Structure 1
Amino acid sequence: MNTYQQYLAADMVTKRMASVGVTAMHVMFARDYSNRGSSGHEVTVGIDYDDTDGHFMGDEDREAKVNEFLTLYPDSTVTRENDYGKPNMLVRGVTNLGVAWEINFRSGVCERVQVGTKRVERFDPAVIASIPKVTVDEPVYEYMCPDPIVAAGLVA
């Protein structure tokens, strides 16, 4: 694997992005400098917040762009990974030369929904001097994302 193959992958990915009206903000090439196999050769692309017409894309717009991308390029998959706040939509694939690529479309349309509780111990506010612990129910939230592509079974 060499840098030129990564360049070809980045070129293919940015052309695919342009076909759905999205521009790359940055492209990063990952390298395995120590030759340990711990990091592969891959290309990571982040999108611009504006579409190719210069209009700001909100969550709904980015969600629609991901769905359009997956429809046009069924060799791609989407996952949602939550670092801070709403989860990022990560579209991934592998070129015919074996270069993995990923596009971070950022957050999409997700709603924070309480899905249950968990038991945790807290200090009893009524008896703060002796500070005993009591078990209480604490809300548990997950993001529920209406995603027609996932519902149709078109992603891994």
Structure 2
Amino acid sequence: MKSPWRRRSACPTWRLAWCSSARIAGVLPDKRWGGSLAIPLPLWNRNTGGIAAAQARHRATALERTALEQAISAEVSNALTELQRLQATIHLFHDTLLPQSRENLALLQHAFSAGEVGIVPLLTEQRQVIALSTEYLETRFAYRVALVALDSMLGGGPR
């Protein structure tokens, strides 16, 4: 940022003018020629309005930048939190829920073959396995979508 002294000692704008006039007084015309050189003296007006406006624009831009940085940081943080949540859900499905449901289905199929249970519990368990598998695949899809969103936030592009 420039010091106040440098702003005050800025070079003035020079102006050069040329003028002529002719006046007829009686019989002989009275001709006058002249010139002037003007140097504005910024005694009271040192472009303080323009300087203040530029400083205000600079402060506003700095505040906008800070706000954008905070917004981006919050978005990235939220995306990371969502990824961690989805990853934990995927592990829960893969390690616990799906194997247990498939084992229950296998036991019910064995019991049905032996004639110990009817068809209704077997079909109910098959529907539950299908529903859990569908939910697992939807969670994996949501995880991939969140991963792509985070990658695009961090500036990753197509590979």
TM-score, with length taken from structure 2: 0.20
Larger helix share, 1 or 2: 2
Question: Which one has the largest radius of gyration?
Answer: 2
TM-score, with length taken from structure 1: 0.20
Larger strand share, 1 or 2: 1
